[in-house]
Chain A
Amino acid sequence: MKIETVNFGTIEIEEDKVIYFKEGIPGFEDEKEFVIILNEDLDNPFHFLQSKNTGELSFVIVNPFEIFKDYDIEIPETTVKKLKIEKKEDLVIYSIVVVPEDISKMTVNLLGPIVINSREKLGKQVIIEDSRYTTKELIFKEASEKGGK
């Protein structure tokens, strides 16, 4: 199956890679089908959540646990049920990245993780209440606090 994308041109996607977002995501409630496009560069933590049906719609995502070592969230019971989560191993979690003009000020939404059940191919952006985190966590600040590698 081919998708026309803005970032990658025409790409070939296997049907079994499509993840179904029954509720869409906030702001894009009609977008129910996405694929994860992993960065070809294994060292690059930035990947894409690409809409299957809207080529221009593509979010940059990261695995939040790779950037924020202490990130710790509880998946609400409503989500466990909706995504039919049975085992922790089926869970894949990404966070959406917002990149402004000054890319050093890019932020990650830690209150809206994209939670995916990779076995059932079901996904949802889960909004969590947690006063430790914000919807606009600076990545760069965290990286520099790590001591700079």
Chain B
Amino acid sequence: MLILSRKKAESIIIDGNIEVKIIDIQDGKVRLGIEAPEDIEILRNELYIEVEKENKAAVGRKLDLNNMKELLKK
């Protein structure tokens, strides 16, 4: 992992066309501004991990879809 120190208003450039700028630093929180091409996805890390967790929880059990349907129709 590349580790850099930046002060407020400073930025870094990734791959020539992604810019991450420190907008503000306050109360232990850093406000980041990100400029990137339209095809680049930007997500909070914990959200990706949560979706991954839900996907893994969704598989493995043999399910009775009829029972599930009945529950819904009640």
**A interface, CB within 8 angstroms of B:** 6-7, 25-28, 39, 41, 43-46, 56-60, 67, 76-78, 81-82, 96-99, 103-104, 106-107, 109, 111-112, 125, 127, 129, 135-136, 139-140, 143-144, 148-149
Contact = CB atoms under 8 A, between A and B. Distances in A.
Given A81-B38, A81-B39, A143-B74, A43 B62 contact: no
Given A127-B48, A127-B51, A7 B69 contact: no
Contacts of A43: 69, 73
A127 B61 CA distance: 24
Nearest to A142: B72
Contacts of A27: 51-53, 55-56
Given A59-B59, A99-B68, A78 B54 contact: no
Q: Lowest 5 CB-CB distances: which A-B pairs, in order? A: A26-B52, A27-B52, A27-B55, A112-B51, A44-B69
B71 interface: yes
Contacts of B66: 41, 44
A46 B50 CA distance: 23
- Interface size class on chain B is 20 to 34
Given A26-B48, A127-B43, A127-B47, A96 B38 contact: no
Interface in B16-74: 38-41, 43-44, 47-48, 50-59, 61-69, 71-74
Contacts, number: 99
A37 B54 CA distance: 21
A44 B65 contact: yes
B59 A58 contact: yes
A148 B74 contact: yes
A96 B54 contact: yes
Which residue, A26, A140, A149, has most C-beta atoms of chain B within 10 A?
A26
Given A78-B41, A99-B61, A149-B73, A111 B51 contact: yes
